[in-house]
Structure 1
């Protein structure tokens, strides 16, 4: 099987992390705490993070790199409630006084600022970004789980992952509760989901005065830049971890029962040929539905930022921010070292959907209830799998009539090496980049034909 790739959110006000650290006072919620007690899994994959059993009372109101050698398991970062003890940790007070800030509970850890006069960069980033990250709980008649989300607007639009609000594709009508960083509880409804890029937008009922996340330009992120992951790993809300961006142009493939049935979003609109999964070291099991995912023939391919900030189950849908507290990515997956390990966890390979892609998809969902994705109109396969090719990239196996590829003048045997300025190493990269672009947008290509490099432009079609 071949791979065929064939009103917006208003600008958010600028505010520095240091200002937020100097100003902010976030009182801790009153809550009962329990420590998480994860149940062992037979296969490492997605694990639902523990859900709170005793809830607070509701208030009134680039460059591409070679794929990793060896076997790794890419696991979604949503956590599961079944078999877990509950846990709720609130944000500690940060009042700018000389006294140590109070932690939320003596049985848990909040964000504690012991010396407000000497706040480091990570503490300032946390103070700035934490109010814009929420914890999401989804529950159906047969399953439940939790993840994280990023606040988009003062009236409660929140961006997260599709697999968080659909319980790994198991349901389309889960009951959703959301907890703000200050402990306020909200009911929420799904505005729209985008299983092609595993993103979703929900709306909190009765929300007002929330703190929207400030978006950075993810196309300007460099390898080595500082990164801070914020979310609820293992059911521990308001958790902050730090690291660096370890790659800016990684593409991963995900077997997904949430993907549209009958659509090989891994690549192919219009062709039949070799499936490039055989050469991929990546495995991706959606949380709580591991067996179903392994049996699914559907897949999605997404472009991601790679970070070594510690990311764990429960971080799904949460924020990856830069050293100014601005969003650079939506946390979506981790890699673990073995398909036979009992529990998934961070080994320093985390993945986030770039903020530019996430913002476009969120805007379209809010406006229209769904997002669009580009279509190339060609069947492709890794050039490394084609005998006689000497160029790394995506090999054109077939061009579909009246598509973007034909418009660009691409022919069978061409090897695409760049798409919209991004390096293409294989068909997974090309599919992920084409899907990241909006339907009807103009795309630029660099391709090799008969040993010579060429450039072309075309208008992408629409993935149906």
Structure 2
């Protein structure tokens, strides 16, 4: 059986079709933030020139001519040390405390004679500023500041952040917890307010899944297979941690990556989860899964990272399936957990729970056996950003059909057919080529090849190592793009 990596694949990972139990209201946890400030060092001490005393005028006495005395620069007190160095002096200019080189300092001009009527030994004073001036200026500044804040808030409310992409919608990236945190309770306390239950109904079916708050604009991430039944004319509701129910709208979804983004009306007060990086995870690191397994909202389970970059398809070879480069975990994941966050011990989302392995047969619907899979958060960010900016998600393709059966498992991916006018044909890929590696990463079979290609973005140039007629060669393929 062959699969076309250019085609979209319907997910078939398990989700619960049981009616959701009424969620229990929980108090949301307030977010704490720390503000830090800094102080500048002391300002340099200023010099004060003493005023010469002025006495009665006296007749000048004639004195013999004296030898000329070389002018000397007045001795100046060194300024006290400051915490910031003085800026360099540009060419042709001099610092205020320096005299021009090669020239003696100019003789200070004689003080101007006092104006008529002014007392001897004093200077004329500037007119005083009326006392009411400063309160008036302060009041005016306050009013202008308040008006600016109101206008700015009004403009922000009118902006449709869904068209600005993920970077403009108010996401969080700072880790909420310390790097050495080992408390599952602390992770739960941080993430439960950002985890929601998703109720979807349509086409005569109803089901429940999970999700998490993506940003401050009221967007929620979940799995596509959680809302696919309600995508065309159905209804979607989101239940927050405090039990409040919100109406939601599917604004975009990807069958290929099994992701969907919801817009939740009136939910801007929900706290977004902090987004981390699955690339930073090590096998054996602790992780926590959140969601509503079997409709049991606000459920927390813990485990470790069992493996990374695990090629997984969420359906059988007879279906249109989603192919993901998954984070594998032994944290308990069951039907209803789909779409919920997988979180590291610093309280950052590192994946989206999406599938579990089963032993088949009568145990196919038994639920967790300790082998669960999550979509890496890196792919979630890319897909969510595409949906927020354009309303649709795109994925990379090479324009070839690949064998996804077990016949060549472990040996590489066999190309069944290279499509005409495709990137693969332009690069020189041929039917029956055996793909051994993509950008230096070994691929073991057709599914691994599809998953590896989908870790890149449309337009990327990728190196393929192939074997043809017993000889290895390298091809560079610029990836195409399709919606899905």
Q: TM-score range by the shorter chain?
A: 0.5 to 0.7
CA contact (8 A) 2:24 2:242 kept: no
Q: 1:79 to 1:90 in 2, by over 3 A?
A: farther
Aligned pair 1:203/2:263, yes or no? yes
Aligned residue for 1:416?
435
Give structure 1 stretches of 5+ with no counterpart.
Answer: 7-73, 97-118, 257-276, 278-295
Q: 1:77 to 1:338 in 2, by over 3 A?
A: closer
Aligned pair 1:217/2:236, yes or no? no
| Structure 1 range deviating more: 352-361 or 170-179 | 170-179
Cα separation, 2, equivalents of 1:80 and 1:398: 39
Q: Deviations over 1:27-65 (max 9, x none)?
A: xxxxxxxxxxxxxxxxxxxxxxxxxxxxxxxxxxxxxxx
Q: 1:222 to 1:393 in 2, by over 3 A?
A: farther
Task: Quote how far apart the aligned CAs of 1:309 are.
Answer: 0.4
Task: Quote how far apart the aligned CAs of 1:306 are.
Answer: 1.1
Aligned residue for 2:309?
249
Aligned residue for 2:415?
396
Q: 1:93 to 1:371 in 2, by over 3 A?
A: closer
Give SS of 1:433's match. helix
CA contact (8 A) 1:304 1:353 kept: yes
Q: 1:384 to 1:208 in 2, by over 3 A?
A: closer
Q: 1:400 to 1:140 in 2, by over 3 A?
A: closer
Give structure 2 stretches of 5+ with no counterpart.
Answer: 32-180
Aligned residue for 1:231?
291
Cα separation, 2, equivalents of 1:441 and 1:342: 39
Cα separation, 2, equivalents of 1:251 and 1:391: 13
Aligned residue for 1:187?
247
Q: 1:173 to 1:423 in 2, by over 3 A?
A: farther
Within a 5 Å distance, the mapping from 1:253-292 to structure 2 comes to 253-255=313-315, 277=317
Aligned pair 1:78/2:15, yes or no? yes
Corresponding pairs, count: 330
Q: Deviations over 1:377-421 (max 9, x none)?
A: 2222259626xxx97211223323332223443333432233345
Task: Quote how far apart the aligned CAs of 1:362 are.
Answer: 0.9
Give SS of 2:300's match. strand
Q: 1:179 to 1:403 in 2, by over 3 A?
A: same
Give SS of 1:76's match. coil
Give SS of 2:457's match. coil
Give SS of 1:212's match. coil
Q: Deviations over 1:406-447 (max 9, x none)?
A: 344333343223334543211011112323433333333333
CA contact (8 A) 2:29 2:193 kept: no
Aligned residue for 1:346?
368
Aligned pair 1:123/2:185, yes or no? yes
Aligned pair 1:144/2:163, yes or no? no
Which protein shows a greater Rg?
2
For the aligned residues, what is the CA RMSD? 2.9
Q: 1:87 to 1:345 in 2, by over 3 A?
A: farther
**Aligned pair partner of 2:325 in 303, 322, 344:** 303
Q: 1:420 to 1:358 in 2, by over 3 A?
A: farther
Task: Quote how far apart the aligned CAs of 1:197 are.
Answer: 1.5
CA contact (8 A) 1:421 1:444 kept: yes
Task: Quote how far apart the aligned CAs of 1:156 are.
Answer: 0.8
Give SS of 1:229's match. strand
Cα separation, 2, equivalents of 1:244 and 1:348: 10
**Aligned pair partner of 2:454 in 435, 442, 448:** 435
Aligned pair 1:321/2:343, yes or no? yes
Aligned residue for 1:5?
5
Q: 1:216 to 1:421 in 2, by over 3 A?
A: farther
